[in-house]
Chains A and B, each alone.
Chain A
Amino acid sequence: MKSRSHIIFASVFLIAFATGSMVHAAPVRKKLAIEAGRIITIAGKDIKNGVILVEDGAIKAVGADVEIPWDAFVIEAKDQVVMPGFVIAHTSSGLDQANENMPEVPFISTFDSIDPVSTFFEDSLRDGVVAMLILPGNNTLLGGTGNIVKPYGRTVEAMLVKRYKGLKISLQPSRNTSRMGHMQRFRRYMSDLKDYLEEYERRKADAEEEKKPFDEEIDVTKQSMVDLLNKKLTAFIYCDRAADVPKAIEIQKTHGLKTVLVLGTDCYKAARLIAKSKLPVVLDPQLIVWETNEQTNEEEMKVIPAIFHKAGVKFAFQTDTSQYGRRYLWYQAATAVKHGMKRDEALKSITLYPAQFIGVDNRLGSIEAGKEATMLFLTGDPLDAGSWVDRTMIAGEIVYERAKDDRLKKLLEPPIEMQEPKDTD
Chain B
Amino acid sequence: MRIYVILLTFLLLVSAFVAPGRAEVTAVKAGRILTISGEPITDGVILIENGKIMEIGEGIEIPEDAILIDAGKSVAMPGFVDASAVQPVRGDLNEQSSEITPTLRISDALDPQSKALKRIVQTGVTTLFVSPGRQNIIGGMGVVVKPTGKIPQQMIVKDEAALRIVMDMDPTQGNRTPRGQAPENFYFRRPGTRMALIWMLRKSFFDAQQQADSKQTEDPNLAILSAALKDEIPIHVNARRAIVIRAALKVADEYGLKLIFQECTEGYKVVEQLAERKIPVVLGPFYYYPQSMGQSREGRKVNWNNAGILAEAGVKVALASGEQSGAIDILTAATFAVRHGMNRDDALKAITIIPAEILGVADRVGSLEKGKDADIVVLSGDPLNVTTRVEKVILNGKTVYQ
List A residues at the B interface (Cβ < 8 Å): 290, 292, 297-299, 301, 322-325, 331, 334-335, 337-339, 383-386, 410-414, 418-420, 422, 424-425
Please report the C-alpha to C-alpha distance between residue A422 and residue B384 in the assembled complex, in whole angstroms. Answer: 34
Chain B, residues 229-254, CB within 8 Å of chain A (1/0): the string is 00000000000001000100010000
**Which residues of chain B are within 8 angstroms of A337 by Cβ–Cβ distance?**
387
**Which residues of chain A are within 8 angstroms of B327 by Cβ–Cβ distance?**
324
> Min CB distance, A339 to chain B, in Å?
7
**Which residues of chain B are within 8 angstroms of A385 by Cβ–Cβ distance?**
335-336, 338-339, 384-386
> Min CB distance, A330 to chain B, in Å?
8
5 tightest A-B CB contacts, nearest first: A299-B118, A334-B386, A411-B304, A338-B387, A385-B339
> Min CB distance, A341 to chain B, in Å?
10
B residues contacting the other copy or chain, number (CB 8 A)? 41
Does B187 count as interface, using CB distance less than 8 angstroms? no
Verify A418–B301 contact, CB threshold 8 A: yes
> Min CB distance, B162 to chain A, in Å?
26
Tell me which of B175-183, B286-294, B366-374 binds A.
B286-294
> Min CB distance, B182 to chain A, in Å?
37
**Which residues of chain A are within 8 angstroms of B292 by Cβ–Cβ distance?**
322
Verify B270–A420 contact, CB threshold 8 A: yes
**Which residues of chain A are within 8 angstroms of B246 by Cβ–Cβ distance?**
420, 424
With contact pairs A325-B336, A385-B338 given, residues A418 and B269 touching in the complex (Cβ less than 8 Å): yes
Given A386-B339, A414-B269, A422-B273, 17 more A-B residue pairs with CB atoms under 8 Å apart are: A292-B115, A298-B118, A299-B122, A322-B292, A323-B328, A324-B286, A324-B336, A325-B332, A334-B386, A335-B386, A338-B387, A383-B386, A384-B386, A385-B338, A413-B341, A418-B268, A420-B242
> Min CB distance, A282 to chain B, in Å?
21
Verify B387–A325 contact, CB threshold 8 A: no
> Min CB distance, B338 to chain A, in Å?
7
Does B272 count as interface, using CB distance less than 8 angstroms? yes
Does B305 count as interface, using CB distance less than 8 angstroms? yes
With contact pairs A324-B288, A339-B389, A383-B387 given, residues A290 and B309 touching in the complex (Cβ less than 8 Å): no
In the complex, the chain B residue whose C-beta lies closest to that of A331 is: B386
Please report the C-alpha to C-alpha distance between residue A25 and residue B118 in the assembled complex, in whole angstroms. Answer: 54
> Min CB distance, B389 to chain A, in Å?
5
Q: Which positions 271-314 of chain B face chain A at CB distance < 8 Å?
A: 271-273, 286-289, 291-292, 301, 303-305, 309
Please report the C-alpha to C-alpha distance between residue A411 and residue B119 in the assembled complex, in whole angstroms. Answer: 32
Does B340 count as interface, using CB distance less than 8 angstroms? yes
Please report the C-alpha to C-alpha distance between residue A101 and residue B242 in the assembled complex, in whole angstroms. Answer: 41
Does B154 count as interface, using CB distance less than 8 angstroms? no
List, sorted by A's number, 19 A–B pairs whose CB atoms are closer than 8 Å: A290-B115, A292-B115, A322-B292, A323-B328, A325-B328, A325-B332, A335-B386, A339-B389, A383-B387, A385-B336, A385-B338, A385-B386, A386-B338, A410-B303, A411-B340, A412-B305, A420-B246, A420-B269, A422-B272
Does B388 count as interface, using CB distance less than 8 angstroms? yes
